[in-house]
Structure 1
Amino acid sequence: MCKIFIEKENKIIETKEDKTLMDALLDENIFVDNACNGKGVCGKCKIKLISGDLGELSETEKKLLSQDEIKDNIRLSCLVKPQEDIKIELLQKERKHRVLSSGYMPKFEVNPSIHKKLITLEKSTLENQRPLENEILRQLNIDKLDWKLLKEIKPQDEKITAVFNNDEVIYLEKNDTRDKIYGVIMDIGTTTVVTSLVDVNSGEELCVESMINSQKQYGLDVLTRITYEVENEEDGVENLQKAIVTSINEMIEKLCKKANVNKKHIYEITVAANCTMMHMLLGIDAKSIGKSPFAPIFTSSKNILAKDIGLLACDEARLYCLPSVSAYIGADIVAGAYVCELNKADENVLFIDIGTNGEIVLSNKGDLLSCSCAAGPALEGMNISCGMRAANGAIEDVIINEEENVIKVIGEEKPIGICGSGILAVVKELLKTGIVRDNGAFIKLEKLEEDDYRLNRIQINNKKREFILYDDNKNKLLITQGDIRQVQLAKGAILSGFYALLKKANIEMKDLKKVMIAGQFGAHVSVDSLVGTGILPMEVKEKIVYVGNSSKTGAYMALMSKEAKKDMELLSKDMEYMELGASEGYERLFSSCLKFPSN
């Protein structure tokens, strides 16, 4: 038996000499990123060898590890079998502290704003005719109580549970209900909304609901929805708010039904969202966000009664909205920066949330600089001719070879469309095979030989070339020139923001230690697609880390810790915002970033 000392985790495990290090760690429920299930092809299960011997590097490790990683004693745990006592360091700390299924989470102090206290009431007597209110104030050691709460109490009640939000009593309940404290966390994106029901006592996420943002009927992107407000002065703001609130209430109803929870025991709803979505949730005019100088009505956090905007929970439930930085760096990005501890970084780290807008935060050893670029909804499957959301039937990955187009479909069903990760994958392949040139145009058919396999994959439709992605004689899925342009514009926007931040901070590409990818889209797109299409430069390929839906994770941390709320409010004030359009030479930079990588 060999002992494995895990540095910084204060843990020692034992393993047999015939077992791989990865299996030894997994047997002890220690997280290892084993995307290929230990087959030695993904290169994800990296650990750092601190002391001891793990034998010579295999040829596979030499291929999958960079020279810097080899020099730093990084090994692939699925390819090594300890033969003696060793000391290692885990390199996937974010994943190790994963609590919610859609993101990674750092350690933090659990101290919810919502808590309960049980009191047993002393009955009044002829000698002591103390009013019930006074008895409650005495036992709770508080000075005042909202008179409306007394409506919930009857003279015969013996036990009462007081619900606190921080130091304020917000509700009184009959009997002992301390085991029933629930909250809802929410990530409201322009395209999708994700909501979870959380047991605040245990911190467990009980169930999740997601949906397409119902405001889509008023526009797929924020600017179109703002335009709707402009064109519908009388009821535009109200209609947008009603759409999202109605949907949220439906989701809460489904969550409560799934978990068998009464919604009157939901006492707090915490929301992370971009700045426009936050305005529209609260029914506050967002028109100023859509025109220069792009000044929102508010960016600070909000702590209000949920029922004031029509949300259905406990009558006195609070709605806490995380703070934003600017019109286009919203609470979702503040949450992500906090979750990824960018303000504590002692190295240069880049954080990117890729969605309808591409928001980027550069941590220059803890100093935060941010920008936003209008990527458009193409990378979420929208504005694409056969695009769809990531649901069953959506193509999510593509490989083009001489024999056929190899496609991977969500749910392993017949393909009916293509989602964001799929459109990026197919563009990467079109560039790789030369079907699309680096300027984004399809290759001309006359340049192809008669026996070239690519010839039969391209069709002419009204003088426009289209790539035949899938055709079963019943359903044909095509990638058009317009689809390529949509991806090209998104790529140019994100990459130019990337370079603009580095330039302002006077940081070279080689000085970046890590690139963190967040968001629903980022969770499903491959590194090869990101660098193969040029959304991110090839130089950062080995530095990319996925962090999942950090926006929702931030909402969870705010629900479970009042300190996290305060910290995010401070972080939002310390983050500098850079307006790309106002930066010198940006138009030229954007144009240069439109070009795809050459093969």
Structure 2
Amino acid sequence: MKKVRFNIKGKRTVELVATDDENLLDAARRAGVMIDSPCNGNATCGKCKVKIVSGHVKTTETRHISEEEMAQGMVLSCNSTIVDDIEVEVPDLASSFVNEMQITDLSKNENDNIKHVRKKLIKNGMTNASRLWSEIIQLNHPTVEDNMADEDRLKQYFKLKLGYNDITLSLNVMKKLPDAFRENGFEIEVVYLKRRDVAEILDVKPANGNKAVLYGIALDIGTTSVSACLVNMDTNEIITKVSMGNAQVKYGADVINRIVYSQKPGGLENLRHAIVDESINKLIEKLVKGAGIHKEDIYEVCAAGNTTMNHLLLGVNPDYLRKEPFIPAINVIPEMKCAELGININPEGKIYLAPSVASYVGGDITAGVFAVPIWIQEGFSMLVDLGTNGEIVFGNKDFLMTCACSAGPAFEGGEISCGTRAVPGAIEEVIINDEDLRPFYNTIGHLSPVGICGSGIIDLICEMKRTGIINGKGRMDRTLNHPRIRFDEYGIGQYILYSKELDNGTKDIFITEIDIDSFIKAKGAVFSAIYTLMESLEMPIDVLDNIYVAGGIGTNLDIENAIALGMLPDIPVEKYYYIGNSSMQGCYLALTLTEGKDKIREISKNMTYMELSVHPTYMDEFISACFIPHTNLKLFPSVGN
């Protein structure tokens, strides 16, 4: 048995006893220490670097650890076994990815889209009110002659005074009735959900003169990050938004790695604990503290996640999602109490999970379509959601076709050497000077650079292609002699965007040919999915009136650069709209419009799914798209050679 001490950011220390020859990454997970491991410990991504401060591990040489890093004691945690008492330093990016929450406002694009769609939906007949309601009511005092039970007295009031045929209430609410009725002379406040002519009672308490403010949460459960908005359900105002990394990332960056991990002993429960306790409940704590309210004031959660995230949240075996014929255990999930899932709001509070369509088109997409909204438009539109999976929805008010491709986490900074989410300090815009190849960039919040987010990666690769640093295959020009271009001992090229040496920076931020290759495959997957879907319907690309781009790629996505790289179709840029987190917006609209949740369920049933993995032409289209911009330049007439 060996003692292991993890020093996290120099602020927190975690110790445990490890078994002989235990894998260092497994030991960290067992200790609850976050180490970034997008490849789930397969030694392919190189992200799980840690520093051995004292003691020794048995490790294998890898291209991900340079000679300089090796001399400093750096190892891949997944590639190292514990053979001695050791002290381990966990680097900043690895430890802070999940634990540091960002409190932000919705972006201008997101706010504009919500306002526009909300007006449109109300104009189309939706009710501008949530299902959540409260009433202060005065009940008649019981007497010997009027000896009706408390529950019956409440039901009678709702039927005669409020027009409901019935009310339902749980055992927990029943337990509150006797004392709540009598504390203030049978004047009570009742919180309930309107379900057509039935009222579902969520809370009964003595009236105190003013109606309580009721709150709901719109929750986006992404593979890479989790975001939540606190909503005042009386005014529909978004109070605040909080986001953080999905704590499941320590078990793999993509859904396939997490599904594989779920099959290990205790794996499924570890994944469920990571999303519920380490992600969602932490977000709720932050929302509650920031707003100065109690968690019992929150009565509704409307959530959306991809199909795998839904299975992992529920603790349902997801293994068959990744095996042909790719069948989910459940698509339409019944509304349930948050307490059943361990989500910390009012004990009677409800959670609605947006329904999935197929294994790789989930509730994040059905909620996103609701927020666009393609489903009420005459013309042909498309939603392109750029995340760990790339999901495409095409259609109009008459039909909706959808498909999904495995893009990997590149669009959100994953599996990119210096990649990061779109957080403060992330490089989101890049221009390279033609004359001296010097980069100019902007960071989110105008802070010191911490990494490159999706929109910055797109700009950077596009600029490298435009200035001749790379060719169409993503390979660097070996004839260039420039201080920002270097090649490692394996001959892999790097372009230095921000440097300790050249820019007096705090760290080196760069992109490698391997990173560029990963991005080219991701963008190739997205474009080939779009092209295959349209081709299967025998429709040309130019039939599209609008393309809505969603995802956490960054608020400054340059559509022209995305087209120039061959990621998005070459149609006029004025037809494109970047709307940000469409899943979150759909959940907010479903919370605050009476018919919203039913409409998302209807949308899911009306979507036809096409499985790309068995489509006869998809792989050929994918290979053709793995070039900048494409091997068929006729598809990109506006892009120069």
Normalising by structure 1, what TM-score? 0.79
Quick one: distance in 1 between partners of 2:469 and 2:453? 21
**1:149 and 2:180 matched:** no
Give the equivalent residue in structure 2 for 1:422.
456
Q: Deviations over 1:119-151 (max 9, x none)?
A: 212222344333333322221223664444232
- 5 Å-filtered alignment, 1:145-294, equals 145-153=169-177, 154=179, 155-158=182-185, 159-165=187-193, 166=195, 167-176=199-208, 178-230=211-263, 232=264, 234-246=265-277, 247-294=279-326
- 1:42 corresponds in structure 2 to none
Contact 2:494 2:512 in 1 (8 A): yes
User: Structure 1 residue 304: deviation in Å?
Assistant: 0.3
Q: What one-letter code is carried by the residue in structure 2 that aligns with 1:577?
A: Y
Alignment of 1:517-556 (within 5 A): 517-521=549-553, 523-556=555-588
Supply the AA of the counterpart residue of 1:152: K
User: Residue 361 of structure 1 contacts residue 370 of structure 1 at CA under 8 Å; is this kept in 2?
Assistant: yes
Is 2:348 aligned against 1:316? yes
Taking the aligned partners of 1:521 and 1:424, their CA distance within structure 2 comes to 9
Partner-residue secondary structure (3-state), 1:302: coil
Aligned counterpart in structure 2 of residue 511 of structure 1, from 543, 555, 558: 543
Report what 1:483 is aligned to.
515
Q: 1-side partners of 2:227 and 2:167: how far apart?
A: 39
- The equivalent of 1:405 in structure 2 is 439
Equivalent of 1:118 in 112, 136, 149: 136
List aligned pairs for 1:91-130, cutoff 5 A.
Answer: 98-99=114-115, 106-108=120-122, 109-130=127-148
Matched residues in 1 for 2:110 and 2:305: separation?
22
Q: What is the rounded CA distance, in whole Å, between the counterparts of 1:511 and 1:481 in structure 2?
A: 36
Aligned residue type for 2:273 = K
Are the equivalent residues in 1 in contact too, given 2:333–2:355 (CA < 8 A)? yes
1:466 maps to a residue whose letter is: Q
Q: 1:589 to 1:97 in 2, by over 3 A?
A: closer
Classify 1:317/1:107 alpha carbon distance in 2 versus 1 (closer, same or farther; 3 Å): same
Residues 383-419 of structure 1: CA deviation (Å, up to 9, x unaligned):
0111122223322111111232112222323323212
1:359 aligned onto 2:387? no
Is the 2:109–2:578 contact (alpha carbons within 8 Å) kept by the matching residues of 1?
no
- Of 440, 458, 473 in structure 1, the residue corresponding to residue 485 of structure 2 is 458
* 1:465 partner letter: G
Deviations, residues 521-554 of structure 1 (Å, cap 9, x unaligned): 1633111221121101333433211222111111
Per-residue displacement from partner, 1:246-297 (whole Å, max 9, x unpaired)? Answer: 1211211211111111211211111011111111111111111122111111
Instruction: Find the residue that maps to 1:128 and give its secondary structure.
Output: coil
State whether residues 342 and 349 of structure 1, in contact with CA within 8 Å, keep that contact through their aligned partners in structure 2: yes
> For residues 201-237 of structure 1, what are the alpha-carbon distances to aligned partners after superposition, in whole Å with 9 as ceiling and x for unaligned?
111111111101111111111111101012x1x3211
Query: Which residue type is aligned with residue 110 of structure 1?
Result: N
Q: 1:585 aligns with which of 583, 601, 617?
A: 617
Q: CA deviation at 1:314?
A: 1.1
Q: Give ranges in structure 1 of 5+ residues lacking alignment.
A: 1-91, 449-453
Q: Deviations over 1:463-513 (max 9, x none)?
A: 222212222315322211101111111011000001011101111122211
Identity in percent: 35
Counterparts of 2:251 and 2:118, CA distance in 1: 33
Q: Helix, strand or coil: the match of 2:553? A: helix
- Residue 59 of structure 1 corresponds to none
Tell me, in whole angstroms, the C-alpha distance in 2 between the residues paired with 1:260 and 1:331.
31
Deviates more, 1:530-539 or 1:488-497: 530-539
Partner of 2:57: none
Deviation for aligned residue 1:583 = 1.1
Give the whole-Å Cα distance in 2 for the aligned partners of 1:486 and 1:150.
57
Q: Deviation string for 1:534-590 (max 9, x for gaps)?
A: 101333433211222111111112212231111111110110111111112211111
1:104–1:553 CA contact under 8 A, matched in 2: no
Shift of the 123–458 alpha-carbon distance from structure 1 to 2, 3 Å rule, reads: same
Name the aligned partner's letter for residue 498 of structure 2: Y
Q: 1:104 to 1:218 in 2, by over 3 A?
A: farther
Provide the rounded CA distance (Å) in 2 between the counterparts of 1:126 and 1:539: 78
Distance 2:401 2:554 in 1: 21
The residue number in structure 2 matching 1:389 is 421
Pick which of 574-583 and 472-481 moved more.
472-481
In structure 2, the CA distance between the partners of 1:441 and 1:528, relative to structure 1 (3 Å rule), is same
Q: Where does structure 1 differ by over 6 angstroms across 4 or more consecutive aligned residues? A: 92-95
Going from structure 1 to structure 2, the CA distance change for 1:185 and 1:213 (only over 3 Å counts) comes to same
Amino acid at match of 1:188: I
TM-score by length of 2: 0.74
How many pairs does the alignment contain? 497
Offset at residue 98 of structure 1 (A):
3.5
Which residue identity lines up with residue 579 of structure 1 in the other structure? E
Which residue does 1:570 correspond to in 2?
602
Distance 1:521 1:94, change over 3 A: closer
Match of 1:347 among 374, 379, 383: 379
- Distance in 2 (CA, whole Å) between partners of 1:389 and 1:192 is 8
Whole-angstrom distance in 2 between the partners of 1:181 and 1:162: 11
AA aligned opposite 1:589: E
TM-superposed CA distance for 1:104, in Å, is 8.0
Q: Distance between the aligned counterparts of 2:500 and 2:174, measured in 1?
A: 68
Distance 1:366 1:521, change over 3 A: farther
**Alignment partners' CA distance in 2, 1:413 and 1:424:** 20
Q: Deviations over 1:70-107 (max 9, x none)?
A: xxxxxxxxxxxxxxxxxxxxxx999756359xx98744
- Consecutive unaligned residues in structure 2, runs of 5 or more: 1-107, 160-165, 630-639
Letter in 2 for 1:566: D
Give the Cα–Cα distance (whole angstroms) in 1 for the partners of residues 281 and 371 of structure 2: 27
Supply the AA of the counterpart residue of 1:238.
E
Aligned pair in 2 of structure 1 residues 270, 479: CA closer, same or farther (>3 Å)?
Answer: same
